[in-house]
Amino acid sequence: MINTTLKKLSEVSGLSISTISRALKNHPDISEKTKLLVTELASTLDYEPNINAVHLRTKNSRLFGVIVPSISNFFYDSVIASLEEEGRKNNYSLMILQSGDDPEIEAANIKLCRQNRVNGLFACITPETKDIEPFLKLKEVDVSVIFFDRVPERSDCHKVCVADIDSASMAANLIVEKQKKKVLALFGNSNFLITKKRFNAFTEIMNQHSIAYITAYSSSEIHAEELTNECLTLKPDTIFCMTDEILTGVMRAIQKKQLKIPDDIAVIAISNGFIPTLYYPQITYIETSGKKLGKLAFQSMMATLSGSTFIQDRTIESILVKGGSI
Partner DNA sequence: AACATTATCGCAAACGTTTGCAGTTGATAA
Partner DNA sequence: TTATCAACTGCAAACGTTTGCGATAATGTT
* Positions that interact with DNA (CB under 7 A): 2-3, 5-7, 14-19, 21-25, 29-34, 47-50, 53-54, 56-59
Name the minimum Å distance from CB 249 to a second copy.
Answer: 10
Of 9-17, 112-120, 194-202, 235-243, which part binds a second copy (CB under 8 A)?
112-120
Say which entry of a second copy, DNA, none residue 24 contacts (CB below 5 to 8 A, set by partner kind).
DNA
For residue 107, give every residue at least 6 positions away whose Cβ sits within 8 Å of its Cβ, in sequence order, or none.
134
User: Is there binding between residue 135 and a second copy (CB under 8 A)?
Assistant: no
Residue 18's nearest CA partner among 213, 26, 10, 204 is 10
Say which entry of DNA, a second copy, none residue 142 contacts (CB below 5 to 8 A, set by partner kind).
a second copy
Contact assessment for residue 173 and residue 143, using Cβ atoms and an 8 Å cutoff:
no
User: Is there binding between residue 112 and a second copy (CB under 8 A)?
Assistant: yes
Name the minimum Å distance from CB 134 to DNA.
Answer: 18
Residue 266's H or E segment, with its range, is strand 266-271
Name the minimum Å distance from CB 4 to a second copy.
Answer: 8
Nearer to DNA, 31 or 90 (CB): 31
Q: Other CB atoms closer than 10 Å to residue 112's CB: what's the count?
A: 14
Nearer to DNA, 23 or 145 (CB): 23
Bridge partners (DSSP) of residue 238 are 183, 266
Contact assessment for residue 81 and residue 291, using Cβ atoms and an 8 Å cutoff:
yes
Name the minimum Å distance from CB 301 to DNA.
Answer: 22
Number of residues that bind a second copy (CB under 8 A): 46
| Sequential DSSP letters for 274-299 | SGGGGSSSPPEEEE--HHHHHHHHHH
Segment 257 to 286, residues that bind a second copy, using CB under 8 A: 275, 277-280
- Return the residue of 12, 36, 81, 234 that touches a second copy, per CB under 8 A: 81
The alpha carbon dihedral of 49, 50, 55, 61 has a sign of: positive
Contact assessment for residue 204 and residue 234, using Cβ atoms and an 8 Å cutoff:
no
Name the minimum Å distance from CB 139 to DNA.
Answer: 18
Contact assessment for residue 240 and residue 202, using Cβ atoms and an 8 Å cutoff:
yes
Name the minimum Å distance from CB 40 to a second copy.
Answer: 17
Q: How many CA atoms lie within 13 A of 65 on its CB side?
A: 27
- Return the residue of 10, 17, 21, 77 that touches a second copy, per CB under 8 A: 77
Cα–Cα distance, 313 to 13 (Å, whole number): 54
Nearer to a second copy, 172 or 251 (CB): 251
Say which entry of a second copy, DNA, none residue 5 contacts (CB below 5 to 8 A, set by partner kind).
DNA
Cα–Cα distance, 96 to 84 (Å, whole number): 10
Segment 14 to 73, residues that bind a second copy, using CB under 8 A: 46, 48-53, 55-56, 61, 70-72
User: Is there binding between residue 78 and a second copy (CB under 8 A)?
Assistant: yes
Nearer to DNA, 114 or 197 (CB): 114
Three-state SS at 45: coil
- Return the residue of 211, 251, 266, 283 that touches a second copy, per CB under 8 A: 251
The alpha carbon of 185 is separated from its chain's Cα centroid by a whole number of angstroms, namely: 25
Angle at Cα 211 formed by Cα 206 and Cα 214, nearest 5°? 80
What type of residue sits at position 299? Q
User: Is there binding between residue 322 and a second copy (CB under 8 A)?
Assistant: no
Q: Which residues bind a second copy (CB under 8 A)?
A: 1-3, 46, 48-53, 55-56, 61, 70-72, 74, 77-78, 80-81, 84, 93, 95-96, 98, 111-112, 114-117, 137, 140-142, 248, 251-252, 255-256, 275, 277-280
